[in-house]
Amino acid sequence: MNQKDSTKLGVVVSGSLSQGILARLDSNTSVEDITVGHLVTIQGNTRRFFGMINDISLETSDPGILLTPPEAGEEFLASVLRGTTTYGTMQIVPYLTLGSDESLIEGPQPVKSIPSHFSPVYLASETDIELVFGKEGSKNFFIGNPLDMEVKLCLDLPEFVTRSNGVFGKSGTGKTFLTRMLLIGILQTDAAVNLVFDMHSEYGWMGTREKASPVKGLKQLFASRVSVFTLDEKSSQERRVSTDFVVHLGYDEIEPADIELLRQTLNLTDQAVSATYQMRQRFGQKWIEKALALESDGETEDVLKSLNIHEATFQNLIRGLNVICRLPFTSPHVETRAVDKVLEYLQSGKHVVLEFGRYRDITAYILVANLLTRRIYSRYRENTEKAMAENRPRPKPLVITIEEAHKFLNPAVAGQTIFGTIAREMRKYNTTLLVIDQRPSGIDEEVMSQLGTKITCLLDSEKDIDSVLAGMSGKSGLKSVIAKLSAKQQALVFGHAVPMPVAFRPRDYGSAESYEQFGKMPAVSDSQDLEDLW
């Protein structure tokens, strides 16, 4: 459909604020041109409404047509019926209005009324999109184009990072590409500093691309502002990644809480988990080393008895600890702690991508992500509290990106893990999450509801769609939009950082031209932003 400033689609014929607006398509609007997810404006008498098409249907005013529909060859009859006795309707969810007094100053406001009968419905124009979502600027990052439109859709990233956010979608729908773009945006707009737990090593240096050559990672675009940490030096060298630091974990850095999160992956019993706490208390920081040593020790039985730990539980625990100790990046003790190094980089404003190389198994990922995040978060929290107490500016916001988020945030563990805490505490300590997951239904409901902005690519399981939309108004409408997104590079964004939901096609990533666009740091241009600087 072409994007003229006033493509009239139809007129309002019925509806309600809770159920949405029903508009009848004009007879010259082909129902085939209307797509769910399109943004429309409705021109009421005194105000303008912004909404999204979420359903389309075919109607007939005379059931007789269903008995004797035009036959082949009765083209004229068919063409007359189209748009008259038989017609299309579209269901529109109104989200915003513009035109009442306050909105003239404040911009579009959430809807509290609906347009009157026969108000004309137009396809949203480029100016409408800019009015609602803002123009590209030093805070507004260009993330893609609304479906079938040329205009740039922008996201206010400083606002975005004030809450934890989520990127969802089936495997292969473009989550990684979308996330990479958001990370670049956060870097470009200087909205926050990123810490990425890069399970599949695709953000820092070289990302894979289906059926095409690899794409550049963040460090290749912003060499001086991004550092790549690796758990797997060999793999990084083989891939010719210029790494900044090789991460090793000492057993003595691992706390019982880190083990607790691994309960499922290490197959630990509840008793084994509580045994870790007893051991920690008994043996101090070197508890893992000492517990492992116990095995070959004659005194084992006595110690276990005194701790009231069963032999079977002990064996169960030892098996689990052995899995950790066999991870090539762990050793009894390391000199330079990764936590300190990560913090040092983050505090100097550098973005950190930690790549896992070959250690993609979930045990390594959970262990490392959880361990580092817990320490980093507590440091951030101290710093923030101190800054507030001393009336200094708070540290720069930190965004922690995790994949396979349901492993950290499923209902069984979300209550205890650091990630659950961060998701729930919102912006309190300037740290938020960017969670990426292909199975959002696996994530704890409460955590899902705390996520500020959600960007979702195609999801096809009802359960996943429901969990992503939990708590949204106009849910049923958005459901059909999500289910109808195309299998790649289309997404719906809604929630805190956008005034209304919008389906869009994320920016292309991977061409020389795209690198040039993404690699640029925007110049501060608008006068408003200059004022902000003052």
Partner 1 sequence: MDEASSRIAEVTQASTAGFFAQCYELFDLPPLGSLIKCRDGENEILAVTCNASTSSLEPGRRPIARGKTELTEEDVFRSNPQLKQLLKSEFEGVVLGHSFNNEYYHYLPPRPVKLHSFVYLCTTDEIAEFSRSLEFLSLLTSARTDIPSEELVAACIRFISACHADPSTFTAAAGKKLAQIFVDDYPKLRTILLRLKL
Ligand X SMILES: Nc1ncnc2c1ncn2[C@@H]1O[C@H](COP(=O)(O)OP(=O)(O)O)[C@@H](O)[C@H]1O
Distance between CA atoms of 73 and 488, rounded to whole angstroms?
40
| Residue among 185, 155, 111 nearest 498 (CA) | 155
CB of 458 to Mg ion, least distance (A): 13
Q: Binding marks (x or -) toward partner 1, 13..42, rule CB under 8 A?
A: --------------x---------------
Distance between CA atoms of 265 and 258, rounded to whole angstroms?
12
Residue 57, SS3 per DSSP: strand
Q: Binding marks (x or -) toward partner 1, 442..481, rule CB under 8 A?
A: ----------------------------------------
Token code pair at residue 190: 């200087």
Q: Is there binding between residue 65 and partner 1 (CB under 8 A)?
A: yes
CB of 476 to ligand X, least distance (A): 25
Tell me which stretch binds partner 1 (CB under 8 A): 67-75, 157-165, 488-496, 526-534: 67-75
Residue among 1, 7, 83, 256 that touches partner 1 (CB under 8 A) = 83
Distance between CA atoms of 484 and 492, rounded to whole angstroms?
10
CB of 516 to ligand X, least distance (A): 15
Q: Is the CB of 208 or the CB of 306 nearer to Mg ion?
A: 208
Q: Is the CB of 85 or the CB of 517 nearer to partner 1?
A: 85
Residues 208-237, interacting with ligand X (CB under 6 A) = 209-210
Distance between CA atoms of 509 and 419, rounded to whole angstroms?
29
Which residues touch 323 (CB under 8 Å, ≥6 apart)?
Answer: 266, 363
| Residue among 261, 198, 193 nearest 418 (CA) | 261
Q: Is the CB of 15 or the CB of 174 nearer to ligand X?
A: 174
CB of 43 to partner 1, least distance (A): 24
Q: Is there binding between residue 74 and partner 1 (CB under 8 A)?
A: yes
Q: Is the CB of 66 or the CB of 212 nearer to partner 1?
A: 66
Residue among 26, 126, 159, 508 that touches ligand X (CB under 6 A) = 508
Q: Is the CB of 61 or the CB of 336 nearer to partner 1?
A: 61
Which residues touch 10 (CB under 8 Å, ≥6 apart)?
Answer: 23, 24, 25, 26, 29, 88, 89, 90, 120, 121
Distance between CA atoms of 140 and 162, rounded to whole angstroms?
14
| Residue among 466, 436, 468 nearest 171 (CA) | 436
Q: Which does 384 bind (CB under 5 to 8 A by kind): Mg ion, partner 1, ligand X, none?
A: none
What one-character DSSP code corresponds to residue 189?
A: T
Token code pair at residue 503: 């389906």
CB atoms < 10 A from the CB of 342, how many?
A: 23
CB of 76 to partner 1, least distance (A): 5
Q: Is there binding between residue 59 and partner 1 (CB under 8 A)?
A: no
Residue nearest to Mg ion (CB): 176
- Decide if 248 contacts 331 (C-beta within 8 A): yes
Residue 533, SS3 per DSSP: helix
Q: Is there binding between residue 72 and partner 1 (CB under 8 A)?
A: no
Residues 155-184, interacting with ligand X (CB under 6 A) = 169, 171-177
Q: Which does 41 bind (CB under 5 to 8 A by kind): Mg ion, ligand X, partner 1, none?
A: none
Q: Is the CB of 71 or the CB of 531 nearer to partner 1?
A: 71
- Which residues bind to Mg ion, rule: CB under 5 A? 176
Residues 461-500, interacting with ligand X (CB under 6 A) = 488-489
Distance between CA atoms of 195 and 367, rounded to whole angstroms?
16
- Decide if 414 contacts 444 (C-beta within 8 A): yes
Distance between CA atoms of 505 and 484, rounded to whole angstroms?
13
Interface residues with partner 1 (CB under 8 A) are 27, 61-62, 64-65, 68, 70, 74-77, 79-81, 83-85
Interface residues with ligand X (CB under 6 A) are 169, 171-177, 209-210, 488-489, 506-510
